[in-house]
């Protein structure tokens, strides 16, 4: 059985964090991206009206993230 997740990311509050914390977060994110690029594999984003296609891609892709555009 596959595990499917719905996630969202917001950086609104992050932008109000102290500069040293944001800088450390950026360094950590760049290090992760450089060392583990497979974690960032992304399919093209699908508009919400193409939800069946996004679901199909998530079921058959094997790797990567399928994104939905909500706007």
pLDDT digits (tens, 9 = 90+) for 18-64: 999 999 989 988 998 899 887 777 777 899 999 999 888 888 756 57
Domain boundaries defined on the chain:
14-69
Residues 68 and 51 sit within 8 Å (Cβ to Cβ)? yes
> Could you tell me the sign of the dihedral formed by the alpha carbons of 18, 10, 23, 36, in that order?
positive
22-48 as b/e: b if 16+ CB within 10 A? eeeeeeeeeeeeeeeeeeeeeeeebee
Tens of pLDDT, residues 12-21: 888 888 999 9
> Could you tell me the sign of the dihedral formed by the alpha carbons of 43, 47, 48, 50, in that order?
negative
């Amino acid at each position: 059985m596959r595990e499917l997740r719905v996630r969202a990311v917001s950086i609104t509050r992050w932008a109000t964090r102290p500069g040293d914390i944001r800088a450390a977060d950026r360094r950590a994110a760049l290090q992760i991206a450089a060392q583990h690029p497979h974690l960032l594999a992304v399919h093209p984003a699908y508009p919400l009206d193409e939800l069946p296609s996004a679901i199909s891609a998530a079921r058959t892709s094997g790797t990567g993230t399928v994104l939905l555009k909500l706007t």
